Structure formats: C-alpha cells, structure tokens
Amino acid sequence: MDIKLIALDMDGTLLNSEQAVSDFNQEKIAQALAQGVDVVLSTGRWLGSCYPYAESLNLKSFLITCNGGEIWTIDKKLKERHLLDPERIKLMWELAQDMELNTWMVSTDSVWYGTRPDDFDAFEWLKFGCDTNESEKLDTLVKQLSHYDDLELTNSLPMNIEVNPKGVSKASALHNVCEELGITMANVMAAGDSLNDIKMIQEAGVGIAMGNAQEAIKNVADYVTDTNDQDGAGKAIEKFVL
C-alpha cells in the first residue's frame, strides 16, 4: 500500500485526554516524515488552536481547519476558504438560544463562545457549533436545520452539532490537498473518531477509526485502532505506513 499522506483529526484522535500528543505518536509522525510522507492535521479547530501542534510536530504540508472550511499552508498562507451566509449564522444562533444550547461560532478572525456580535454581517463566518446534554434538543435542531439545503451538518462529539456550508468537509479539503501534491485519495491514510471525519475515512485509501470513535465511524472504517489514550493514531501509522 503506497501511503503518501496521513490525515489526522486532532481531538479524540491525535490528542489524548490531556490535549497532548504522546511521545509515541510524536515518534511515529517523525518517522513518517523522515520517509517523505506528508502529515496533515485535518481538524474542526480554527487555525490559531491547531497551528502550535503542527509547529511542534515539524509538519511541512497543509493544515485543514474548521472541518474543511479553510486550507492553509504551513507558513500560514490561505489556499482556500468557504464561508457561511451571515443570515444562516444568525438563524442558528437564535434557534440555539431558544433551546438553551451552548454555542460557538467561528469567524475568520475570532471565535464567539456563548456570545454574539452586534452585527453578524460585519464578519466572515466559517462554522457554527452547539452542544447540550439533552439529545432530544439536538434531534430537534437537526430536524429544523435539515430544511436548509445550503448547510452541511456533522459533529465532533456525540452531543454536539457542527455546521459548515454544504459540500464542505474534511474529505473535500483532502481531495484538494491531494491535487496540490499530485497524489490521489488512494494514497491517503485518514484517522478520526467523529461524524466530521466519516467522509475522509470512507474516501481514503486506508480509513482508520479510533477505538473511542462513534459506532458509525467504526462501521465504515477499514481498521479500528486503539483509543486516543492508547496511542491509537501512532499505532495505525506504524501498521500501515512505516
């Protein structure tokens, strides 16, 4: 199997419960890089909260942020950006407030946790997210948002919802990264744990579900590795790449 690119989700995958990259995972990533394999962080996080990890791992390729909402080079040059309609952000904020959900909204230059700007139109919006411990509320919101055909709904944990523009995903961004590098998705190993990872896991040459992944992810993966607290990402790299 000719793996030339490793795409790693961060939370619940590369990072352990302490939000750290284990020594073992660092070692396996370094070995892959030494063999000329590209390693790409493919995350729901925005650039500011993932870049320090990329830097510490000495990554040299691209960063996929906000579930594919942006693609960056490692020297912070923007390659691609997909924005949500400010009216949609405002609608989702209002629906979430009515249902007393916790919210976060990611613009191109800031993240709004539980608050909103005075003017939604004054910002460029990448992603909307909300969570709750009450699954019925999430089900209700999903039903309401499913009427809008310009929205892509996923999650990064079982009890949250994340929203991007329709057609925007980690997989769509990975396709574009592959094109830039002159390879195909058949040359990709992708690892993740949540619904925002499912398409890249399905479309990669080797799709890896973490041991702590949601069942839907395990069902479509080529291989289920150990959990994020048991070096599952590094073990998958060792098995399929090194």
- Give catalytic residues, as residue numbers: 9
Residue 204 and residue 71: Cα distance in Å, rounded? Answer: 18
Strands (E), 69-170: 70-73, 78-81, 102-107, 111-113, 125-131, 151-154, 160-165
Residue 156 and residue 147: Cα distance in Å, rounded? Answer: 21
The pair of three-digit structure tokens given for residue 34, joined into one six-digit string: 């030494």
Using CB atoms within 10 A of its CB, is residue 166 exposed (0-12), middle (13-18) or buried (19+)? Answer: middle
The pair of three-digit structure tokens given for residue 197, joined into one six-digit string: 């990872």
